Every structure is written in structure tokens, then in C-alpha cells.
Amino acid sequence: MITKCYKIDTNNINQEQMQEAGALIAAGELVAFPTETVYGLGGDALHPEAAKKIYAAKGRPSDNPLIIHIAEVSDLERVAKVVPEQAKKLAEAFWPGPLTMVVWKKESVPYATTGGLDTVAVRMPNHPIALELIRKSGKLIAAPSANTSGRPSPTEGSHVVEDLDGRIAMVLDGGPVGIGIESTIIDLTEETPMVLRPGYITPEMLAEVLGEEVIIDPGIIAADDTTKPKAPGMKYKHYAPKADMIIVDGDKEKVVEQISLLLQEAKAKGQKAAVIATEETKMLYQSDVVLSIGTREEEDSIARHMYKILRDCDKLDVDVIYSESFKTPRIGQAIMNRLLKAAGHQVIHV
Ligand code: AMP
Ligand code: MG
């Protein structure tokens, strides 16, 4: 299959190209598109064959459910068996935006989309191209991240092309995304609302709007696999670069000292090593490959660049990656959740 790629100007969206993209979705084909979090790989959410195509294109295990993207809050009623009061409050506060809600599904939502579950995950993205695509297609769009399963999520159109060229009908390239990590997922089918995946919207923000306690799935906090996460996708190895990756965690001076030591050892073994550092620390390392992920002064910059940096490590063909840890105040939990997975939980505490 030849994959068509259109560069779309977010401020001046080409309606003809969007019409063509929407028609492809309506015909059961796949179109990758930008959202504010990462790029999504979209197909008709209520069409089981489209869901199957998504799994095949990504090489994704079919028990890992897809998130349904909607363009109007009222479309929640089309997929939810009942719309809980909590969902109304959260939609009012955070939609369109980087929040996915899990609710009981309507019968019309195929099990192919929900990975066999009786619940469905729904989100209204905050990106003009995503919203326009949903509207033009006249469908609801099921979309996981538009990467090959296991690889870092795509935050630029070129990342999608790297992974999926020849496997999908179209890529809408709207430039780099704004947030850079996937949506927060909150499960509203539990007794107490539960965060299944941390993201840009924090448990504190959710609790404040709901006026009740919000818990975090114990399965995503556990450092080992003794407790299974509830979101099926969270149990898989994910976001991983090709090289071995080790995170060094602790006070700045000690981290720099430890990584410098590891760099010397790698050099002695003839290994090519990369360091993932920040604007504040990048000049402190003696290595050919020092990548700055962003600045600790602005934690959003760290989230925004993380997946691109992991992909850059692949392109530079390094053998081993040493990364600082980024337990930043607000979204540090979301950042570290992804980074720890990328590193297969290899951490040195200093
Ligand atoms: P991605 O689309 O790549 O961001 O992955 C979607 C994430 O949402 C995966 O971790 C899924 O396991 C999770 N997810 C989707 N639907 C559900 C659901 N009904 N219940 C729990 N988790 C879900
Ligand atoms: Mg994904």
C-alpha cells in the first residue's frame, strides 16, 4: 500500500485534504493524525474490521483496547451504556483535552475495539486537525498511538512515517505535538475513580473537580510485575529504544558522578554510550552523545521531547543509554512511568 502524506497547517486547515482523509476513515481505512498528546492511528471505532487493521498495522496485541476519539461531548452517549455524573463533571473541566475516561460500553461498540472488555475508553482530543478529521469522517475514531507496538510513541509526523509507511492509507502531518505524552486515563467503573495511566492531568486535578478521592492503580506504581495494571496496555514493554537503557536516580552531583563513571566503563568496553541530560547538566558530561531532553525549569519541555530523544538514540545507533531521572513536581509521575518502561525498570539509586 502507498501511504499518502499531507502536511497540514493547523492555522489554515486544507479542507479538501481533510475531506479525503475523512472519506478514508468512513471507508474503513486507517489515517494517522496529530493530537495534543501524541500522534494517533485512526480507524472507524464502530467497525470491527477497522479495529483489526489497526492492530495489524501496529503489530499490537489484540487484547490491548483502543481509545475512542470523539469531537462532541454529547457523543459520549453513543458509546457509554450510561454516562456517569463524574464523566459529565470531568468533560466540562477537561474536554477537549488530554483525559481519557473508561466507562461501561454500549452493545454497539465492538469487542474488537475494546479488546474484549465490557468497558470502553473515550477521549475528546484538543487539536483542530484531530477534531476536523472526526467531523469530516462522520464517525467516531478509535486510535492508539501511531507507532509500531513497543516503540516510543510518535510526537512528529516523520516518526509515524518511520514506523508505518506502506502499512496505512494516510498520514496527516501537523508538525510536532504540544504535550508529548499520552493522555491520563481515569476509570469510572470502579467504586472509587482510579487513574490507570498517569498523564498531563494529575490525580489532584481530577480529585479537585470530582470533589472525591481519586486513587492510582497499584499496578502502575509497583516496580515489579507482582501487581498487574488494570489497563491492559500498561503491562507490555513499551516506549523502548533499541539500546540498553539505565536510569540513574538521586541528587544531581551524585547522578553526574555515577553517569560519568558508567561512561568511562562503557568506553573501556568499546561501547557507544548516550547520556540523556537536561539544559542544566548537559555540559557536565564527557561523551560524544549528550542529549538534552529539556529544562528542569519547565517540566513540560521534558515531556514534550522524551519520545523524540528515545528515537534519536536509535538513529545514533548507541549501545547503551544512561539517563538522569526526572521526578519533576507536577507531571514527574507521568514522565517517570514512561521512562521506567523504556528502561525496562533498570535503575541505579545513588
Ligand atoms: P494508546 O492508545 O497507545 O495510548 O493505548 C491506550 C491505552 O488505553 C492502553 O494502555 C489500553 O490498555 C488503555 N485502555 C483502552 N481501553 C481501556 C479500557 N476499556 N479499560 C482499561 N484500559 C483501557
Ligand atoms: Mg501506545
Q: Mind listing the pLDDT tens digit for each residue in 178-224?
A: 999 999 999 999 999 999 999 999 999 999 999 999 999 998 877 66
Q: Region 234-240: what's the mean pLDDT? A: 76
Q: CA–CA separation, 176 vs 160, rounded Å?
A: 11
The rounded Å distance from CA 184 to ligand 2 centre is: 12
Site of grid cell 539509586: 349
235 has pLDDT over 80 = no
pLDDT in tens, 12-69: 999 999 999 999 999 999 999 999 999 999 999 999 999 999 999 999 888 899 999 9
**Do the domains at 4-235 and 244-349 have one common CATH topology?**
no
- pLDDT value for 293: 98
The rounded Å distance from CA 79 to ligand 2 centre is: 21
Atom of ligand 1 nearest to the CA of 67: 15
- pLDDT value for 315: 94
- pLDDT value for 224: 62
- Ligand closest to the CA atom of residue 147: 2
State the helix-helix crossing angle for 203-210 and 85-94, rounded to 10 degrees: 120
237 has pLDDT over 80 = no
- pLDDT value for 162: 97
The rounded Å distance from CA 120 to ligand 1 centre is: 9
- pLDDT value for 62: 86
The rounded Å distance from CA 66 to ligand 1 centre is: 6
Mutation choice for ligand 1 from 196, 217, 234, 236, CB with most ligand atoms inside 8 A: 196
Nearest to 215 by CA among 230, 233, 200, 236: 230
Mutation choice for ligand 1 from 41, 67, 103, CB with most ligand atoms inside 8 A: 67
Question: Would you give the DSSP letter of residue 128?
Answer: H
From 129-138, 254-263, 335-344, the region with the lowest mean pLDDT: 335-344
236 has pLDDT over 80 = no
The answer to whether 154 and 145 have CB atoms below 8 angstroms apart is yes
- pLDDT value for 225: 63
Q: CA–CA separation, 334 vs 326, rounded Å?
A: 10
Ligand 1 pocket at CB < 6 A = 64-65, 67, 102, 114, 117, 119-121, 144-145, 182, 185, 196-197, 230-234
Residue 315 phi, psi (nearest 5): -65, -35
Q: Where are the domains of the chain?
A: 4-235, 244-349
Protein residue closest via CA to atom 10 of ligand 1: 233
The answer to whether 310 and 303 have CB atoms below 8 angstroms apart is no
Report the percent of the chain where pLDDT is more than 90. Answer: 91
Question: Would you give the DSSP letter of residue 284?
Answer: G
pLDDT in tens, 121-144: 999 999 999 999 999 999 999 999
If one looks up domain 244-349 in CATH, what number appears?
3.40.50.11030
Q: How many CA atoms lie within 13 A of 109 on its CB side?
A: 30
The rounded Å distance from CA 146 to ligand 1 centre is: 14
Cell of 347: 535503575
- Ligand closest to the CA atom of residue 186: 1
Atom of ligand 1 nearest to the CA of 230: 21
Q: Selecting from 3.30.450.20, 3.90.870.10, 3.40.50.2300, 1.20.210.10, what CATH number does the domain 4-235 have?
A: 3.90.870.10
The rounded Å distance from CA 324 to ligand 1 centre is: 28
State the helix-helix crossing angle for 15-26 and 128-137, rounded to 10 degrees: 50
The rounded Å distance from CA 311 to ligand 2 centre is: 15
